Amino acid sequence: MSTPRSRSLALALAGLVGSVVLAGCGDDPDPVADDPEGSGGQSSEATPSGEPAPTPSDAGDGSGGSGDGSGEQVTVPVYFVGDTPQGQRLYREFRKVEGDDPLAEAAALMTAGDANDADYGTLFSAGGFASVSYDAGSGFVVELADSAYATAPEGMSKRTARLAAQQLVYTLQGVQQEKEPVTVELGGSPSTLFGVDTSSGLKRAGEIDTLALVNVTAPEEGATVSGTFTASGVASAFEATVPWQVKQGEKVVLEGFATAEGWMDKLYPWESEVDVSGLAPGDYTFEATTGDPTGGEEGFGPTVDTKTITVE
């Protein structure tokens, strides 16, 4: 017999499944969509959920464009690809880059798949862009170095090509803190990106259809922690509950949960205090999930993000 909780979950998952099918499984080659936050509405946010604006100490003038060449580093979001129960999705990682051209620096990390977390990768093959620029009111222009990225490599599906395009869109918009469209050019003329038409400008797709449903911001991969630290990230988890565990190997040594600021329509920030003062020094794994209240009986199962940490 189903309970009210299981019926509520079934309805929620049905809505999520429907949005995934519409966004990811059709053959419509048009990648340019309105910018919903998973609910069909236009977002008023300038950046993806939980994307803090650069502070003066981190980002110079905060413009995200070319600076004065001083070599000052800035912290920017870079989006990589990882496996989830819904298939490949985007995960965000904050990175420090040179402040004179953070758009190009972030794009270079993205295309190289140079993530700190070994669970993340990229949908871009070897190569890069000739230039990346931003003009307020006009958007982003990415100039291809050659035709390698214009057509999809053998075996890349239309769905994967669209996700690759979103990997670029989310990264550039996150760096610049603006949601203006992205056009890819070759030789100064609009070009396709892995076969995806960009001539009308690529817009950011809804978070629920594009991002992993849980993403850990802190602790960072390889972080050293002691005493009590604040774990944080973004998620869309059932009833806004984000379970977390600290593991040593497969053994769970700590566990708890965070309550996100919302769920279902987009990813919302969450945070939780984690007390590791009682743990022996050594290497551990911090794991956050979307949970699975049905015990695997309904839906895709939990999305997971992990970070390796050292307790001192």
At 19-58, the pLDDT tens digits run 333 233 333 333 322 222 332 222 333 344 555 444 333 3
pLDDT at 233: 98
Greater pLDDT, 292 or 7: 292
In whole angstroms, give the CA distance from residue 233 to residue 231. 7
pTM: 0.81
Tens of pLDDT, residue by residue over 145-162, are 999 999 999 999 999 999
How far apart CA 266 and CA 7 sit, in angstroms, is 21
pLDDT in tens, 180-209: 999 999 999 999 999 999 999 999 999 999
Q: What pLDDT was estimated at residue 13? A: 36
Give me the residue spans of the domains in the chain: 7-210, 214-311
pLDDT score for 37: 32
Please tell me the least confidently modeled range out of 11-20, 119-128, 247-256, 302-311: 11-20
Task: Tell me the average pLDDT across 123-149.
Answer: 95
Average pLDDT, the chain: 82
Give the span between the Cα atoms of 27 and 122, in whole angstroms: 22
Name the pLDDT band for 4 (thresholds 50, 70, 90).
very low
C-beta of residue 78 within 8 angstroms of C-beta of residue 46: no
Structure confidence by residue, pLDDT tens digits, 229-244 = 999 999 999 999 999 9
Q: Look at residue 67 in the predicted model and tell me its pLDDT.
A: 44
Residue 85 has pLDDT above 80, yes or no: yes
Average pLDDT value for residue range 64-81: 76
Q: What pLDDT does 182 receive? A: 98
* Whole-number Å distance between alpha carbons of 59 and 65: 10
User: Quick one: what percent of the chain has pLDDT higher than 70?
Assistant: 75
Band of the pLDDT at 96, cuts 50, 70, 90? Answer: very high
Beta pairing class for 251-259 and 241-248: antiparallel
Q: Which CATH superfamily is domain 214-311 in?
A: Immunoglobulins (2.60.40.10)
Which DSSP string corresponds to 52-75? PPPPHHHHTTS--S---S---EEE
How many beta carbons lie within 10 A of that of residue 27, not counting itself? 7
pLDDT for the residue 254 = 98
Cis amide bond preceding 48, omega within 30: no
pLDDT at 127: 80
Residues near 28 by beta carbon (within 8 Å), at least 6 away in sequence:
none
**Statement: residue 59 has pLDDT above 50:** no
